[in-house]
Amino acid sequence: MILNKEPHHLVAPSILSADFSRLGEEVRNVESAGADRLHIDVMDGHFVPNLTIGAPVVKSLKKISTLPLDVHLMVSKPENILSSFISAGADSITIHLESTNYPEKVLKRIRQEKVLAGLTLKPATPVERMFPFLPFLDLVLVMTVEPGFGGQSLLPDQVSNISAVKEELVRQGLNNVPVHVDGGVNLQTLPLLPSADVLVAGHFIFTHKSYKEAISLLKSGSVS
């Protein structure tokens, strides 16, 4: 295995796969290991069939980490809880298009609060539905698994959404909007994700013997 010399991706460890009994230590460890940001999955048990953390945890993490906090709201009607996550210190907030009847309004509100706005879709939703909202975004999140649980295998049929979004961003003159990819990211799937700007990885990093090695491998990519 030969590593590229220059970093190719940014890496955002997903704390969904961290040991929650020592979450502060886990966050410090991935930060010192070279993480670029911290991905925080918020689930309400309604929009997705799982329940995770809320704004108080984000507020606590803000106190112990210098990493940007990238909050992914997998919740119904995110507009109802935006304020709590903005106040808690979220640096970016990504919502699901399917989760609200007012996506443009919600995205504009996020940006008005000087927080980066992101949008994502469930795998079954055609990626083209996102295109009208690209001008209101600071990042795009492509889900390559069904949202709601960590440790899933990447869905190969979702990989084409990455290039589709990239091409549309270029077409609209939004070349600087980064594309994040979340779901089943590991060394086996990495060759499928060359155009991703940010890799969200939980299971691969937090089960690896060395967080530093895991993050380095994802950043640099590999060839046989």
pLDDT digits (tens, 9 = 90+) for 102-142: 999 999 999 999 999 999 999 999 999 999 999 999 999 99
132: three-class secondary structure by DSSP: helix
pLDDT, position 5: 41
pLDDT, position 224: 38
pLDDT, position 53: 93
Answer yes or no: is pLDDT of 173 > 50. Answer: yes
Answer yes or no: is pLDDT of 221 > 80. Answer: no
By annotation, the residues acting in catalysis are 41, 182
Residue environment code for 183-192, b if the CB has 16+ CB neighbours within 10 A, otherwise e: bbbbeebbeb
Q: Tell me the average pLDDT of the chain.
A: 93
**Beta partners for residue 72, in sequence order:** 41, 94
Answer yes or no: is pLDDT of 223 > 80. Answer: no
At a CB cut-off of 8 Å and minimum separation 6, what does 171 contact?
A: none
Answer yes or no: is pLDDT of 99 > 70. Answer: yes
190: three-class secondary structure by DSSP: helix
Strands (DSSP E) found in 20-168:
38-43, 69-74, 92-96, 116-120, 139-143
153 token code pair: 């295998």
Q: How far is CA 59 from CA 1, 72, 85, 217, in A?
A: 40, 15, 8, 30
Answer yes or no: is pLDDT of 2 > 80. Answer: no
For 22-46, what is the mean pLDDT? 97
Let me know: does 75 contact 43? Beta carbons within 8 Å. yes
171 token code pair: 């077409």
Residues counted in the chain: 224
pLDDT, position 65: 97
- Residue 187, CB-side half-sphere exposure with 13 Å CA sphere: 14
Domains and CATH numbers, the chain: 2-223 (3.20.20.70)
pLDDT, position 1: 32
In the chain, the amino acid numbered 167 is E
For 167-175, what is the mean pLDDT? 97
Q: Is the pTM of this model over 0.85?
A: yes
Q: How far apart are CA 148 and CA 199, in angstroms?
A: 17
For 26-55, what is the mean pLDDT? 95
152: three-class secondary structure by DSSP: coil
Q: How far apart are CA 13 and CA 27, in angstroms?
A: 9
Answer yes or no: is pLDDT of 196 > 80. Answer: yes
Answer yes or no: is pLDDT of 90 > 80. Answer: yes
Q: Assign 222 a pLDDT band (cuts: 50, 70, 90).
A: low
